[in-house]
């Protein structure tokens, strides 16, 4: 088995805790991310997938649970220098390429901000060369360094966001819906770029999205979230070919595919959480149905799922 880069254990993120309007955005989820893989996280808006990403990178202080990066807990008290070391290893690419770049800074300074903070370059020339190199890595050219963000298209801006994330040589990148705001033809460019960079630099990704066909394309494993809970986690192919949780099934049946014949016959399933008929005292947890395929279910459902999976093989 590959090495674990990130271990997320019983992570909880509650907002307005203890008040009547308490929101359990992330409610007790656990999963691991292995070195060099891409873990996709899908679910509808409000299910807590972005919050999960933001809690992992410590943009929020987790309510409970722990996030271990290379064996060290991300949350909890940290000295400034420890935090700095950690911040270099983990970077984020944001959803909105229009809002995530400071409009009053030049591209040069946007990308070099991380370099400056961590003191990674010694001279002004080295700084400039590094930025030029980064721009070329993401498919832009060095003339772009002296421009402002408004001079770029959406796809180009997302490339700038990627260059900024790469500047400090991170090991792990959280991409929070990096392509949702882009055109189809440009989406493919950005996704290909992310894949190339992963091969080149051995990066690990957490790829958050609601576009399931893209997620399947880029991910090795996929986790499905529903109302703050992780309901299914499986290798990408397995999840699409053999979805076990009824919510995953409904989500997959809702994707329109660019194939009119398929569309004419597609039947959409809807998901009703009441259909589980959980009794009081039943323990619902992530259980491994087939190797690597986890489903959030009760003991009773687990036995039934194991039987059907065995029959399928």
Partner 1 sequence: MEKILEVKDLQLSFHTFAGEVQAIRGVNFDLLKGETLAIVGESGSGKSVTTKAIMRLLPESSSEFKSGEILFNGKDLTKLSDKEMQKIRGKDISMIFQDPMTSLNPTMTIGRQITEPLLKHQKVGKTQAKKVAIDLLRMVGMPKPELRIKQYPHQFSGGQRQRIVIAIALACNPQILIADEPTTALDVTIQAQILELMKDLQKKIDTSIIFITHDLGVVANVADRVAVMYGGRIVEMGTVDEIFYNPQHPYTWGLLSSMPSLDTAEEKLYAIPGTPPDLLDPPKGDAFALRSEYALAIDLEQAPPVFKVSDTHFAATWLLHPDAPEVDPPLSIIERMKKFPGSRYYEGVAR
Q: CA of 219: how far to CAs of 37, 40, 252, 254, in Å?
A: 8, 5, 16, 20
Return phi, psi of residue 287, to 5°: -125, 145
Distance CA 3, CA 202 (A): 13
In the beta sheet, which residues pair with residue 223?
A: 41, 233
12: Cβ–Cβ under 8 A, 6 or more apart, which residues?
A: 24, 26, 27, 28, 62, 63, 64, 65
Q: Which is nearer to partner 1, 180 or 298 (CB)?
A: 180
Q: Which is nearer to partner 1, 117 or 257 (CB)?
A: 257
Q: Which is nearer to partner 1, 67 or 191 (CB)?
A: 191
The yes or no reply on residue 184 touching partner 1 (CB under 8 A) is: yes
Residues 186-205 that bind partner 1 (CB under 8 A): 186-189, 191-192, 195
The one among 20, 258, 281, 291 contacting partner 1 by CB under 8 A: 258
- Pick the closest to residue 29 from 276, 289, 307, 284 (CA basis): 284
The yes or no reply on residue 23 touching partner 1 (CB under 8 A) is: no
Residues 262-291 that bind partner 1 (CB under 8 A): 262-263, 266, 268, 270-271
In the complex, what is the shortest distance from the CB of residue 210 to partner 1, in angstroms, rounded to a whole number? 6
The one among 260, 275, 283, 291 contacting partner 1 by CB under 8 A: 260
The yes or no reply on residue 126 touching partner 1 (CB under 8 A) is: no
Distance CA 285, CA 231 (A): 9
The yes or no reply on residue 254 touching partner 1 (CB under 8 A) is: yes
In the complex, what is the shortest distance from the CB of residue 135 to partner 1, in angstroms, rounded to a whole number? 16
Residue pair 245/231 in contact (Cβ under 8 Å)? The answer is: yes
Q: Which is nearer to partner 1, 141 or 261 (CB)?
A: 261
Q: Which is nearer to partner 1, 145 or 215 (CB)?
A: 215
Site string for partner 1, 232-251 (x = CB under 8 A): -----x--x---------xx
Torsion angle of alpha carbons 161, 75, 230, 175, nearest 10°? 10
- For helices 124-137 and 154-166, the axis angle rounded to 10 degrees is 130
The one among 57, 212, 225, 233 contacting partner 1 by CB under 8 A: 212
The yes or no reply on residue 216 touching partner 1 (CB under 8 A) is: yes
Residue pair 181/97 in contact (Cβ under 8 Å)? The answer is: yes
The yes or no reply on residue 306 touching partner 1 (CB under 8 A) is: no
Q: Under rule CB under 8 A, how many of the chain's residues touch partner 1? A: 39
Q: Which is nearer to partner 1, 54 or 159 (CB)?
A: 159
Residue pair 36/202 in contact (Cβ under 8 Å)? The answer is: yes
In the complex, what is the shortest distance from the CB of residue 262 to partner 1, in angstroms, rounded to a whole number? 7
In the complex, what is the shortest distance from the CB of residue 87 to partner 1, in angstroms, rounded to a whole number? 31
Return phi, psi of residue 223, to 5°: -110, 140
Region for residue 28 given its phi and psi (left: phi exceeds 0; alpha: psi -120 to 50; beta: otherwise) = left
Structure tokens at 265: 């016959």
In the complex, what is the shortest distance from the CB of residue 196 to partner 1, in angstroms, rounded to a whole number? 9
Q: CA of 68: how far to CAs of 63, 65, 286, in Å?
A: 15, 10, 19
Return phi, psi of residue 253, to 5°: -75, -10
The one among 76, 213, 273, 285 contacting partner 1 by CB under 8 A: 213
In the complex, which residues of this chain contact partner 1 (CB under 8 A)? 44-45, 153-155, 183-189, 191-192, 195, 210, 212-214, 216-217, 237, 240, 250-251, 254-263, 266, 268, 270-271
């Amino acid at each position: 088995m590959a090495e674990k880069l990130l271990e997320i254990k019983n992570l909880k993120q509650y907002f307005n805790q203890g008040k009547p309007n308490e929101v359990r955005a992330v409610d007790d989820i656990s999963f691991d991310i292995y070195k060099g893989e891409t873990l996709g996280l899908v679910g509808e808006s409000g299910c807590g997938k972005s919050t999960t990403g933001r809690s992992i990178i410590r943009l929020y202080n987790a309510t409970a649970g722990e996030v271990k990066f290379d064996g060290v807990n991300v949350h909890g008290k940290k000295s400034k220098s420890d935090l700095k070391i950690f911040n270099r290893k983990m970077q984020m690419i944001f959803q909105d390429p229009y809002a995530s770049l400071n409009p009053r800074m030049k591209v040069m300074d946007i990308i070099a901000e991380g370099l400056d903070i961590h003191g990674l370059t010694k001279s002004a020339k080295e700084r400039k060369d590094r930025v030029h190199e980064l721009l070329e890595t993401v498919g832009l050219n060095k003339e772009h360094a002296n421009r402002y963000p408004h001079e770029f298209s959406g796809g180009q801006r997302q490339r700038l966001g990627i260059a900024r994330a790469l500047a400090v040589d991170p090991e792990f990148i959280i991409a929070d819906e990096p392509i949702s705001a882009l055109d189809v033809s440009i989406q493919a460019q950005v996704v290909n770029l992310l894949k190339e960079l992963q091969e080149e630099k051995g990066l690990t990704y957490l790829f958050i999205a609601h576009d399931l066909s893209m997620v399947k394309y880029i991910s090795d494993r996929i986790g499905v979230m529903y109302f703050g809970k992780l309901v299914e986690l499986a290798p990408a192919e397995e999840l699409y070919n053999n979805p076990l949780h009824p919510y995953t099934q409904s989500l997959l049946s809702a994707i329109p595919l660019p194939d009119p014949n398929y569309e004419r016959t597609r039947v959409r399933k809807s998901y009703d959480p009441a259909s589980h008929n959980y009794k009081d005292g039943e323990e619902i947890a992530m259980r491994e149905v087939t190797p690597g395929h986890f489903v959030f279910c009760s003991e009773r459902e687990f036995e039934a799922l194991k039987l059907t999976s065995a029959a399928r093989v």
